[in-house]
Amino acid sequence: MAKFIYRMQNILDIKEKLESQEKIAYSIANGKLMEEQEKLQGLLRRREDYELQLKELETGRLNVKEIQACRRAINSMKSMIRDQMMAVHTAQRNLEMARRRLDAVMKERKTHENLKEKAFDVFKEELAAEEKKQTDELVSYTYQQRQEDTE
């Protein structure tokens, strides 16, 4: 029996490798986004802690230097939070670009898999036609031999 050999298998293999590389890039971008979001959450918690500390300082015995230091820390945290929000936004854009690249590579791989399936279907049809032809030849030969034997 004939063996099916897809003539563009090497291209399909390359597409599968590219897809796995894009999956890795996507997971790295996703990890980076999660990391940046965790940093942002940490900064937000620190700001809340400073704000609580400021309220305590303002309600207890007043110490102007500590209150000013706490306010500076809160302003500094706000600046850091803004910077971190920009980093989160950048990580989100990078993740979206990685997702788009992954989608494109997956579509290309799927297209080549469909082409391979169609080529396999054509191969099966050709194989069936060849078997039918051989069967017809065998039946014809057998019939002809019987005709010659009866004469």
Q: Is residue 130 part of a domain?
A: no
Residues of the chain with pLDDT under 70: 1
Cβ contact 80:43 at 8 Å: yes
What is the 3 state secondary structure string of 26-59?
Answer: HHHHHHHHHHHHHHHHHHHHHHHHHHHHHHHHHH
pLDDT at residue 147 in the model: 80
pLDDT at residue 1 in the model: 63
- Sequence-distant (≥ 6) Cβ neighbours of residue 15 within 8 angstroms: 105, 108, 109, 112
Q: Is residue 123 part of a domain?
A: no
User: Cβ–Cβ contacts within 10 Å for residue 102, how many?
Assistant: 20
pLDDT at residue 51 in the model: 93
Q: Is residue 119 part of a domain?
A: no
CA 113 – CA 21 distance, rounded (Å): 18
Number of domains in the chain: 1
Structural domain of 42: 11-109
